[in-house]
C-alpha cells in the first residue's frame, strides 16, 4: 500500500525544477550545449548547427575578451558549433554571473567570447583572428551568452568586409537558442 501511495504522490508532484541560477552546475553538459541547434538561413531554409566540441570550464578573463561581460563573472563555459555545411563555425560562451545580468545587445564585431578551436573538424582553424561577427545576450538571470562566428576554412577577419547575413544569423541563432534553453 505504501509503495502505491508513493507512486501516486510522485505522479501528482513533479520533480523539483532546477533553479535557473544553478542550471550551469547541475545540468549535464549535453543539456547546456545540445549536440544540435536548429536554425534558419536568411532565405528561410532549415539549418542545423552541430556541436564540434566543448571546452573545459575556465575563468571568465580567459574565455571572454575585455568588455564582453561585466565584473562579477564567476566562470565561463564554451562550446563550438559548425553549420551543417561546415562553412561557418560559432563559439558560444556562457558567462555565469554573481547576480542578475543586464541586457546587452550588440552586433557587428563586438568584444565577445574567445573562439574555441577543436582539432580534426570544421573548428580546427577558428581563433581570435578568424571571428567575423558576434552577439552578446544578457538577461535578468545570472547568465550572459556570447557568440563569435567565422568561417570554417580559417580565413581571417578583414575590417570593412561585408558580413554575410547567414553568418550574422548563425551567431544570433546559436546565442538565442542557448540563452533561452538555459533561462526558460
This prediction has a pTM of: 0.87
DSSP string computed for 6-37: HHHHHHHSPPPPPPGGGHHHHS-HHHHS-SEE
Q: Is 162 exposed, middle or buried (0-12, 13-18, 19+ CB in 10 A)?
A: exposed
- The pLDDT value recorded for residue 51 is 98
CA distance 63 to 79: 11
What pLDDT was estimated at residue 103?
46
Q: What is the pLDDT of residue 13?
A: 55
One digit per residue, pLDDT tens: the chain, 184 residues?
A: 555 545 454 555 555 688 888 999 999 999 999 999 999 988 889 999 999 999 999 999 999 998 888 888 999 999 999 999 999 999 999 999 987 655 454 555 778 999 999 999 999 999 999 999 999 988 777 899 999 999 999 999 999 999 999 999 999 999 999 999 998 8
Three-state secondary structure call for residue 71:
coil
| Three-state DSSP class for residue 3 | helix
Residues 6+ apart with CB under 8 A from 2: none
pLDDT score recorded for residue 64: 95
Contacts of 93 (CB under 8 A, 6+ apart): 63, 64, 68, 76, 77, 78, 112, 113, 114, 145, 146, 147, 148
Sheet holding 73-83, edge to edge: 36-40, 46-54, 73-83, 88-97, 143-151, 131-138, 105-106
Amino acid at each position: 500500500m505504501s509503495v502505491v501511495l508513493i507512486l501516486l504522490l510522485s505522479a501528482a508532484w513533479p520533480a523539483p525544477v532546477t533553479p535557473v541560477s544553478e542550471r550551469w552546475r547541475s545540468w549535464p553538459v549535453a543539456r547546456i550545449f545540445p549536440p544540435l541547434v536548429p536554425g534558419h538561413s536568411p532565405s528561410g531554409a532549415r539549418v542545423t548547427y552541430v556541436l564540434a566540441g566543448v571546452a573545459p570550464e575556465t575563468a571568465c578573463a580567459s574565455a571572454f575578451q575585455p568588455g564582453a561581460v561585466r565584473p562579477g563573472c564567476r566562470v565561463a563555459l564554451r562550446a563550438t558549433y559548425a553549420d551543417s555545411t561546415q562553412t561557418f563555425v560559432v563559439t558560444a560562451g556562457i558567462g555565469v554571473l554573481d547576480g542578475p545580468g543586464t541586457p546587452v545587445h550588440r552586433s557587428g564585431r563586438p568584444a565577445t567570447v574567445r573562439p574555441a578551436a577543436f582539432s580534426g573538424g570544421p573548428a580546427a582553424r577558428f581563433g581570435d583572428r578568424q571571428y567575423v561577427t558576434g552577439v552578446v545576450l544578457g538577461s535578468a538571470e545570472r547568465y550572459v551568452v556570447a557568440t563569435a562566428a567565422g568561417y570554417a576554412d580559417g580565413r581571417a577577419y578583414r575590417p570593412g568586409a561585408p558580413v554575410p547575413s547567414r553568418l550574422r544569423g548563425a551567431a544570433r541563432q546559436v546565442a538565442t537558442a542557448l540563452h533561452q534553453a538555459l533561462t526558460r
